[in-house]
Amino acid sequence: MWRNHIRACSAIALSLLLHVVLITQVQSWRTQQDQIEKFRARLRQVPRFEPKRLANTKPRNVPMRQMEYHRQEARVQERPDLVAPDQDIPLLSPPELARVLRPFAIAAKADTFSPEVSERQAERAMASTEALRDSLRGESLDLLRVQDLAAAGNLPAVVLIDPTNRRDVTGFVTLRRVRLRGAGGGTRGLEALARHMRDHTQLLVQVDPRKHDYFLNPELLRDPIHFLFGGGGLRLSGDWPLLQVGEREKEMLRQYVQGGGLLFIEGSNRFLQSAAQLMQEVVGADGGMRPLPPTHPVYHAFFDFDSGFPSEDKGIYFMLESRPTTWDYPIRAPDEVVEAAPNVNPDLEEIAQPAQPPAGLWGVELEGRLVAILSDIRLHDAWVGSMALNENTALDLQSGPKLAAGVNLIVYALTREEGTAVRRALPAWVQKRPVDRPSAAIDDTSSRADPDAGFDESLYDHLDGAVAVVCAPLGASFGPGSVRIRVGGHDVELFRDDLQGVILNQLPPGEHWVEIAWRGKSETALATVKGRQISTVTLSVQRLAMLHRILVEVQPDVVGYDDWLHTFDDLEVQEIFLEGVELFEE
C-alpha cells in the first residue's frame, strides 16, 4: 500500500515539475516574442531609407546691364599744372682710373696653413653637410630618373608607392638568376615577363645577364624575389631529391627569407615535394605552409584575381583563411610519381584518366610572414610561350593572363612591408593633391519625398554596409563573459559587460553568415548587408535553472545608418570598423 502511495506522490511531483517547466518555457517564449515585437516596432518607426538626390538649383536672374556711351563734348587737353618742365640733366662724368694699385699682404704657405685651422674648417664643412643631408637626400628633391638609378647598380630594387592607387607604383628592379642543383632562374621566361612589365606598368624591370651558381653570393640577399623553376639549373648528383642544396646554401636561404626575401618555386608535383622538404629544413619548426586564399594580397597587388590565378581551382579547399599550416604538400598526377609503360598495341585503346586539378599556389609562412610560394600552374611555360611565333601556342598556354599573374608576383614582392626593396615616398611634383570639386545643393527631404519620385535604389550598392548585433530585450547587456562574433571574414571578441550592442562597419554588400558565440554556445544566421545601411541581428538568452541557450535572429527591416543611430541612441553601442586581411573564409 505504501509503495503505491510513494509512486502516486512521485508521479504527482513529476507532473508538477513538468507543468512548471512547460509554463516557464511558454512564459519565456511569450516574453521573448513580446520583446522582439517591440524591437521590430521600433525599427519600423525608422523612415524609409532613400538616397539623397541633388537639387537642380537654377541660376539667379541677374538684371541685364548695358554700357552707356556719351558723345565727346570737348577734346582732351593737357593740364599745364601737370606737365613737368623740361630740365637739362647733367651728364655723369666717368670715374678716373686709379693711378696707384692697392697693396696687399703676402705670406708664406707655412703661415696660412696649420692643422688646427684645417680641423676647424673640416668641422664647419661637415656641420653644413649634416644640416643639408635631409634636404639633399629627400625624395622630394630627387631629380634622378629611374633609368639612371637602375644604371648606377647600387641597389637591386627601388619602389615609389602611390597610396591612392596601387597601379601607380614606380621604380625599378633587377632580377638575378640563380642556378641550383635541379632548379634555375630560367632565361626566356623572365625576359618575357620583364618586357611585359616594361610595356604595361611604370616599373623598369631588367634581368641580369649573369648567372649565379649556387646560393652563396651575399649580394643575393638584397634581392626582393628569386625564381626557381624545376628542371633547370645545375645537374643533379642523384635521382632524389629533385632539388639538392648544400648546408651553406641552406644557411644563406634561411638568412634570405628571414630578412624579407621571397622565393617563387615552380615545377612538377615531384619537384615541389622536394621543395617542400627543403623549405621545412630552411624555415624550421616556426613555419609551415598552406594554400593561399583568393583574398591574399598577392592576388590583388596590381591586377585583381578574385578566384585565384589562371589554372587554379580554389574550390577544392575548404576554409582557406582558417586552415592550419602543415608540411604535407598534396600529391597530384600519379603518372608523375610512377611513369607508366607506353602503349605499344595500336588496337588497345587508351584508358582516359580523369585529370586532377593542380594544387595551385601554396605559401610557406615563417612567423606569420609569407617567405616562399610553391606553384604547379605552369606560369613560366606561359611566359616562354608568349614569345612563340605561333599565336595559338600563346592562347593555349594562357600567356596573357599568366603574364598578368607574374606582374602581381613582382609587384607584391616590391611593395610588401617586410620586403627588401627600398621604399621611397613620391616626389612632391607627383603627389596628388585633393581636387576641389564644385558642390551642388542637396535636397535633404528624401525621407518626406514620394517613394515613386524616381530615386535610384542602386546608387549605394557598391558602398559598404554594417551589421548591428543587439541584445534582446532592449536595454539588456551582454553580461559577464566574452562574446565572439564572426562575420565577413573577420573575428571580433568583446570583453565589456555593459555593452548592449555592437555595430560592425565596412562590410561589403551581400549576404554574410553571422556567427555569435557566448559561454560555449554558438548560433549562426544569414544577414543581408546593403550599402550605407544597417542589418540588425538580435541576441537573446533562454535560461532554465542552470541551463541556458542563445537565440540569434535577423530582423527583416534594413534601415539607414544615420536613422538607426538616431533611433537607438539610448543604447550603449560600440562601433567597430573592420579592416585588414580576412582571417577566415565565409
Burial of 187 (0-12, 13-18, 19+ CB in 10 A): middle
Is residue 120 scored above 60 in pLDDT?
no
Cell, residue 307 = 578566384
Relative to beta strand 262-266, strand 573-577 is unpaired
DSSP at 429: T
pLDDT of residue 112: 44
Average pLDDT over residues 245-263: 91
Extended strands (E) in 407-507 = 422-424, 465-471, 483-487, 490-494, 501-507
Read off the pLDDT band of 130 (50, 70, 90). very low
The DSSP line for 312-324 is --GGGSS-STTPP
Please name the amino acid found at residue 85.
P
Among 375, 187, 186, which residue's Cα sits nearest to residue 264? 375
- The string of pLDDT tens digits covering residues 381-391 is 888 888 776 66
Segment 3-16, tens digit of pLDDT: 777 777 888 888 88
Residue 228 has pLDDT above 80, yes or no: yes
d(CA 535, CA 354): 45
Torsion (CA) 528, 529, 531, 537 in degrees, nearest 10: 110
| Range name among 33-37, 46-50, 274-278 with the lowest pLDDT average | 46-50
Cα dihedral sign for 516, 295, 315, 554? positive
Please calculate the CA angle 235-241-242 and round it to the nearest 5 degrees: 50
List, in order, residues 6 or more apart from 342 with CB less than 8 Å away.
none
What the block records as the C-alpha cell of 206 is: 631588367
User: pLDDT over 90 for what percent of the chain?
Assistant: 10
Mean of pLDDT values over 446-475 = 65
Buried b (16+ CB within 10 A) or exposed e, 49-87: bbeebeeeeeeeeeeeeeeeeeeeeeeeeeeeeeeeeee
| Surface-to-core class of residue 106, CB atoms within 10 Å of its CB (0-12 exposed, 13-18 middle, 19+ buried) | exposed
State the pLDDT at residue 346: 43
394 pLDDT tier (thresholds 50, 70, 90): low
d(CA 566, CA 417): 41
Q: Is the pLDDT of residue 181 over 60?
A: yes
Give residue 395's pLDDT.
65
Residue with the larger pLDDT of the pair 84 and 356: 356
Q: What is the rounded CA–CA span in Å between residue 243 and residue 279? A: 11
* pLDDT in the model for residue 17: 78
Confidence of residue 554 (pLDDT cuts 50, 70, 90): confident
Separation CA 424–CA 91 (nearest Å): 62
Mean pLDDT of the chain: 74
The answer to whether 143-332+358-424 and 459-577 have equal CATH topology is no
Which overall architecture, per CATH, does domain 459-577 show?
Answer: Sandwich (2.60)
Q: Where are the domains of the chain?
A: 143-332+358-424, 459-577
Chain segment 37-68, per-residue pLDDT in tens: 666 666 666 665 555 555 555 556 656 666 66
List strands edge to edge, sheet with 547-560.
547-560, 533-544, 465-471, 501-507, 573-577
Least confident of 291-295, 413-417, 559-563: 559-563
> For strand 533-544 and strand 465-471, is the pairing parallel, antiparallel, or unpaired?
parallel
pLDDT tier at 299 (50, 70, 90 boundaries)? Answer: very high
Secondary structure class of 467 (helix, strand, coil): strand
pLDDT at 264: 94
pLDDT digits (tens, 9 = 90+) for 474-516: 778 877 777 888 887 788 888 777 888 888 888 888 888 889 8
Average pLDDT over residues 434-444: 45
Residues 6+ apart with CB under 8 A from 336: 268, 269, 270
For residue 541, name the pLDDT band (cuts at 50, 70, 90).
Answer: confident
The x, y and z cell numbers of residue 173, run together, are: 628592379
Label residues 450-488 b or e (16+ Cβ within 10 Å = b). eeeeebeeeebeeebbbbbbbbbebebebeeeebebbbb
Residue corresponding to grid cell 532613400: 50
> Once rounded to an integer, what is the mean pLDDT over residues 232-249?
83
Residue with cell 593561399: 292
Contact indicator for 365, 371 with CB cutoff of 8 Å: yes
Range scoring the smallest mean pLDDT among 79-88, 130-139, 484-493? 130-139
Evaluate whether the domain defined by 143-332+358-424 bears CATH number 3.30.1200.10: no
Residues 551 and 524: their CA atoms lie apart, in Å, by 9
